[in-house]
């Protein structure tokens, strides 16, 4: 009996020790759980703040995207116009007037008619073509440096008329406002020089002068630049959109993979979580049962 009472007292003492240990572990577990709840709440607060930041960032990102898109279109439009202006210049019309001047005697109808017939025959004269082609070559017109090429150009793009006796009006059409004006000026200067050199062969004694200097119209008569610039702008926009789409798709894939990986980590973390109170309750119970046995 004494031995039984002694064993009971020892068993009761051990039970008290186990209860004390369990109480301590319960206190620790409650502290851990409270901290876990605080961490969960802090995580929710952080996630809400992160969503607000993402929302603000998305709005600013959309505005930046619109601004960047408009800037890109403006740059592409400027580049397209610059390239097209150099590659496909507009066609302009330059005009001038030649006239006959009589120094001593008044101009008679016969003299004016003779002057006009002489200069009409002189317009495409081979000697004039050679002189004018040489002058054009000196001024940088390589494509018109040959008499045959110059004659073909004048036959295709130059027109002339007689607004009144003793005056011949010329109009030359070509690419570029300045180049067309310079080409017509070179031709008429050569025409005046050729006419002066052949003055002795003429029946009248007039002097051929440029009564109205060469002037080119401000507006082009044909302007394909706008259409070509639009084509270039459209092509540039398509290329930029293609590049942007490829980069955006790659970024979306990378972001999606990162988010999926983060979500999987969170799920695994929740799956590995074991309630410490349950674990502590189960562990001492197994130990005490084995000791009691």
Residues 108 and 187 in one domain: yes
How many Å separate Cα 246 from the centre of its chain? 17
Residues 53 and 168 in one domain: no
How many Å separate Cα 227 from the centre of its chain? 16
pLDDT at 289: 40
Residues 60 and 107 in one domain: no
Residues 120 and 59 in one domain: no
Residues 118 and 216 in one domain: yes
Residues 129 and 50 in one domain: no
- pLDDT tens string, the chain, 293 residues long: the values are 777 777 777 777 777 777 777 777 778 777 777 777 787 788 788 888 877 877 777 777 777 777 777 888 888 888 887 887 777 778 899 999 999 888 766 678 888 888 888 888 889 899 999 999 999 999 989 999 899 999 999 999 999 999 888 899 999 999 888 999 999 999 999 999 998 888 777 767 788 889 899 999 888 887 777 787 888 888 888 888 888 888 888 887 887 777 677 665 665 565 565 555 555 555 544 444 434 33
Q: Which of 223, 245, 261 is at the close of a domain?
A: 223
How many Å separate Cα 289 from the centre of its chain? 81
d(CA 165, CA 145): 33
Q: Which of 223, 244, 265 is at the close of a domain?
A: 223
Residues 157 and 246 in one domain: no
Could you give the 3-state DSSP secondary structure of residue 164? strand
Q: What is the DSSP string of 61-118?
A: HHHHHHHHHHHHHHHHHHHHHHHHHHHSPPEEEEEEEEEEE-SSSPPPHHHHHHHHHH
* pLDDT tens figures, 166-203: 899 999 999 888 999 999 999 999 999 998 888 777 76
List the structure tokens of 79: 């580049």
The CATH code of the domain that includes 188 is 3.30.70.1130
pLDDT at 285: 46
137 belongs to a structural domain: yes
141 belongs to a structural domain: yes
208 belongs to a structural domain: yes
As for how many domains the chain has, the answer is 2
Residues 135 and 164 in one domain: yes
Residues 129 and 240 in one domain: no
Residues 70 and 27 in one domain: yes
Interior/surface letters 81-97, b for 16+ CB within 10 angstroms, e for the rest: beebeeeebbbbbbbbb
11 belongs to a structural domain: no
258 belongs to a structural domain: yes
Expressed as residue numbers, the domain containing 280 is 17-84+229-292
Q: Which of 223, 248, 278 is at the close of a domain?
A: 223
197 belongs to a structural domain: yes
Residues 143 and 115 in one domain: yes
List the structure tokens of 199: 């003055």
Residues 62 and 123 in one domain: no
3 belongs to a structural domain: no
145 belongs to a structural domain: yes
């Amino acid at each position: 009996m004494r031995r039984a009472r002694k064993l009971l007292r020892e068993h009761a003492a051990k039970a008290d020790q186990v209860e004390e240990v369990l109480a301590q572990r319960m206190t620790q577990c409650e502290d851990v759980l409270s901290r876990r709840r605080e961490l969960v709440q802090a995580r929710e607060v952080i996630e809400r703040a992160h969503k607000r930041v993402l929302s603000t960032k998305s709005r600013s990102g959309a505005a930046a995207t619109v601004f960047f898109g408009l800037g890109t279109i403006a740059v592409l439009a400027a580049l397209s116009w610059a390239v097209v202006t150099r590659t496909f210049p507009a066609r302009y019309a330059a005009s001038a007037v030649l006239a006959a001047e009589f120094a001593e005697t008044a101009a008679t109808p016969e003299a004016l008619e003779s002057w006009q017939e002489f200069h009409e025959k002189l317009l495409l004269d081979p000697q004039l073509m050679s002189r004018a082609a040489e002058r054009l070559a000196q001024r940088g017109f390589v494509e018109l440096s040959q008499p045959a090429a110059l004659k073909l150009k004048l036959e295709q793009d130059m027109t002339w008329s007689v607004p009144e006796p003793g005056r011949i009006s010329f109009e030359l059409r070509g690419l570029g406002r300045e180049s067309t004006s310079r080409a017509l000026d070179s031709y008429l200067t050569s025409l005046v020089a050729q006419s002066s050199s052949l003055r002795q062969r003429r029946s009248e004694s007039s002097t051929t002068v440029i009564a109205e200097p060469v002037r080119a119209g401000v507006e082009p008569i044909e302007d394909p630049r706008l259409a070509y610039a639009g084509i270039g702008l459209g092509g540039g926009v398509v290329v930029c959109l293609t590049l942007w789409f490829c980069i955006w798709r790659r970024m979306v894939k990378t972001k999606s993979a990162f988010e999926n990986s983060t979500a999987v980590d969170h799920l695994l973390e929740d799956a590995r979580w074991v309630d410490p109170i349950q674990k502590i309750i189960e562990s001492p119970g197994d130990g005490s049962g084995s000791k009691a046995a």
